[in-house]
């Protein structure tokens, strides 16, 4: 059986999400004691234990939440009186530290045109893992768009079958038209992506939104989409548009406002 440390190394090597729960202090009678660990994978499966039962169920739920919001948790449980909400009757107390293990942020570019090429170049420079998707295999190559970590020449309705999307994935759709966007977006909207931006005018987005509604995508899902994409900087060239797009991505990632730094 692999150890938790071996599993952590595999998670880091494959750029996956997980959360590590560690008992940092226990007092009195408790199911497990200090340094006991449980690793929770993104799919909810686990390795190791922090004691089982109701307490472990609560820790498991906190670990899943930590993977979503990226925030660590310090949890304290009394194990005395379930009638008061305690998760056990052993009589002791347990303190658990839950640490999210998050992958590097990924920029998923869909559409390999001039703007897409500039976005990949800038995203790579900013430290993102870059993934290029294009349904025309001729354009989905390192020669056409240098700097990608992955290239997937696949159909627009098969993207999620080939690309793993997590809460650290930022999606930039720079495709050739609203009809293409409408094919790709239903599956992407069902993913936990942190950001989905669609390039184009307001008229183009309205056309795409209408097609999506015809295909059963509801209004709440459509509100996840940023379109027209980017911050308003009067960008014109592909490089300037890439700056606008990545500025919005960074704003979302870091919780910024997009306002001027000076009054």
Collapsed DSSP state (helix, strand, coil) of residue 158: helix
Domain co-membership, 114 together with 241: yes
User: For residue 14, what is the DSSP state?
Assistant: T
In the chain, how many domains are there? 2
Residue-level pLDDT at 60: 93
117 and 215 both lie in a single domain: yes
Q: What is the block-wise mean pLDDT of the chain (263 residues), using blocks of 10 residues?
A: 92 89 78 80 92 84 90 81 53 86 92 95 96 95 94 94 91 92 91 92 87 86 91 94 96 91 76
pLDDT at 44: 93
Which pLDDT score, from 0 to 100, does residue 91 have?
58
Domain endpoint, select from 101, 135, 158: 101
Q: Are 66 and 131 members of one domain?
A: no
Strand, helix or coil for residue 131 = strand
Alpha-carbon distance 210 to 178, whole Å? Answer: 10
**155 plus 224 within the same structural domain:** yes
Tens digit of each residue's pLDDT (9 = 90 or more) over 220-261: 888 999 999 999 999 999 999 999 999 999 999 998 998 888
Distance CA 19, CA 131 (A): 24
Q: Distance (Å, rounded) from C-alpha 122 to C-alpha 147?
A: 9
What the block records as the tokens of 151 is 């290239």
- Paired strand residues for 130: 107
Q: Which of 46, 75, 101 is the last residue of a domain?
A: 101
pLDDT at 56 (0 to 100): 85
Q: In terms of residue numbers, what domain contains 39?
A: 4-101
- Domain stops at, among 76, 101, 126: 101
Residue 262 placed within a domain: no
The CATH number given to whatever domain includes residue 221 is: 3.40.50.720
- Model-level pTM? 0.78
Strands (E), the chain: 18-27, 37-41, 46-48, 73-78, 93-101, 106-110, 129-133, 150-152, 169-173, 195-198, 225-226
């Amino acid at each position: 059986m692999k150890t938790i440390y071996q599993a952590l190394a595999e998670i880091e090597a494959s750029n996956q999400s997980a959360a590590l729960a560690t008992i940092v202090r226990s007092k009195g009678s408790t199911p497990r004691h200090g340094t006991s660990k449980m690793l929770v994978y993104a799919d909810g499966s686990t390795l190791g234990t922090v004691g089982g039962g109701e307490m472990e169920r609560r820790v498991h739920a906190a670990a899943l939440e930590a993977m979503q919001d990226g925030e660590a948790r310090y949890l304290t449980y009394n194990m005395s009186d379930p009638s008061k909400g305690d998760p056990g009757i052993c009589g002791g107390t347990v303190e658990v530290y839950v640490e999210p293990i998050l992958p590097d942020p990924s920029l998923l570019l869909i559409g390999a045109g001039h703007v897409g090429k500039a976005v990949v170049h800038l995203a790579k420079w900013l430290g993102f893992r870059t993934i290029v998707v294009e349904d025309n295999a001729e354009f989905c190559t390192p020669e056409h768009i240098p700097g990608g970590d992955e290239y997937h020449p696949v159909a627009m309705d098969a993207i999620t079958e080939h690309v793993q999307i997590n809460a650290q994935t930022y999606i930039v759709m720079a495709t050739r038209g609203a009809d293409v966007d409408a094919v790709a977006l239903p599956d992407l909207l069902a993913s936990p992506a942190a950001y989905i931006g669609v390039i184009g005018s307001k008229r183009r987005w309205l056309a795409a939104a209408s097609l999506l509604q015809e295909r059963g995508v509801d209004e709440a899902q459509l509100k996840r989409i940023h379109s027209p994409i980017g911050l308003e900087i009067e960008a014109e060239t592909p490089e300037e548009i890439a700056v606008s797009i990545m500025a919005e991505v960074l704003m979302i990632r870091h919780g910024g406002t997009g306002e001027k730094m000076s009054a």
